[in-house]
Each structure stands twice: as structure tokens, then as C-alpha cells.
A = this chain, B = another copy of it.
């Protein structure tokens, strides 16, 4: 993001001049290999050599561009953030949050799960943890539009002296899905995405997640 254009050494993971050129192809091959190795063996099993072999590139190429396993993890998380992801738009807050939760649950229960592998990696590497924190912050920020739309539609009460803390509402709606699948390792409950969404909407309608207007300013 901040590397100067006349730099001769590309920054770790930064795209070079020709998108779609050889550099982009190598990056795609290497990151595919990182995802496959992560899903198969977890972050402890990740090595530059293993990634290079699976990607079919020379390991010095990997060392030069990504330096180490931490650099590979950061770039695979950055690539997830570059995906053209759009939050759902079903016409109601409950529908939107249910669709979001279904997408989350799906990404967590598929085997092997890249999403779970990334979380495991964030326990393993401080660098990966920071990259993942940025990715999640971006995704929750993107989802605030769901709450804004619901307020505009009049689905949630507008209150004079308070405003709705959209992020708290989004976390209340989505956290139970992560909690059940990732931390409690319960069998995925197909009704949970809708139930967790409905509970958060009921709480919001009853005045939860309202904060004094000055607080967020």
C-alpha cells in the first residue's frame, strides 16, 4: 500500500506492475498452495519448501517475495480481503443477517475449512493475527450497511438521544455461529444462522445496542 513506485524491491506480498502477468500468476499459484497446505496440515505444517514444491515454483522465488511463513500467511489473508465480497441484501435485517450467518457457518463447516485454518494460524503467528484482525474489521465495516438500510426502512426504532451501535449488533448476530462451530466444536445446527439473527434483531428492536449519540462521535 505504501511502497514507493520506484522501489526496485517489491514489498512483501505487494502486487507488481502487470496484473495478470507472470508475477500475478506466481502469486496465485503460491497462495493456492498456501491455502491447500494450511487446510491439510494446519499452520504448524506450513513451510516455504512445502509451499514452493506444491506451487511448482523455486523456493528462492518464495523466499525473495514472501520472506518466510509469516509473510505467506499475511499475504493469503490480504488476498482474502481483496476478494470482491458483498454483504447480502434480502430486503430485511433478519433476512440479511440470516444470509450472512449461513455464509459464515458454511465457511466454517466445509472440510477442509480455510476460515478455520486462518484462525488457527492467527493463534500461531502474531503477524497473521494482525492481518486477520484487519480483515475482520473490514468485513464488519462493510456489513454496517445492513443496519443502516434497516434503520432507513424503519425496521429499527429511531431514538432521539441514542444511536444504534451497528458493529455491536453485527457481532451479537454472528458471534454465536463462530462460538458454536469454532470454539465449542458443536455439530453445526442448520437453524442457528436464522435463530442467532432473529435474536439480535429482537434485542435491537427492544433497545439493545443503543448508545448515547455523543459516545460514538
Contacts and interface: CB of A to CB of B under 8 A. Distances in A.
Contact of A171 (B123, B179, B207, B209): B179
Main secondary structure of the interface of A (DSSP, over half): helix
Contacts of A174: 179
Interface string A11-53: 0000000000000000000000000000000101000000000
A54 interface: no
State the copy count for this chain: 2
A162 B98 CA distance: 22
Contact of A133 (B123, B185, B207): B185
Interface string A93-124: 00000000000000000000000000110111
A195 interface: yes
Contact of A206 (B171, B185, B206): B206
B184 A176 contact: no
A147 to B, nearest CB: 14
A136 B195 CA distance: 21
Chain A residues touching B, range: 35 or more
A174 B196 CA distance: 13
Given A179-B178, A203-B202, A208-B199, A172 B171 contact: no
Given A171-B176, A178-B179, A183-B119, A203 B208 contact: yes
Contacts of A123: 42, 119-120, 123-124
9 contacts: A123-B123, A132-B185, A133-B184, A171-B184, A172-B176, A178-B183, A199-B200, A202-B207, A203-B203
Interface of A: 42, 44, 119-120, 122-124, 129, 132-133, 136-137, 168, 171-172, 174-176, 178-180, 182-186, 195-196, 198-200, 202-203, 205-209
Given A119-B183, A137-B184, A202-B206, 8 more contacts: A123-B124, A133-B184, A171-B176, A172-B199, A174-B179, A175-B175, A199-B209, A203-B206
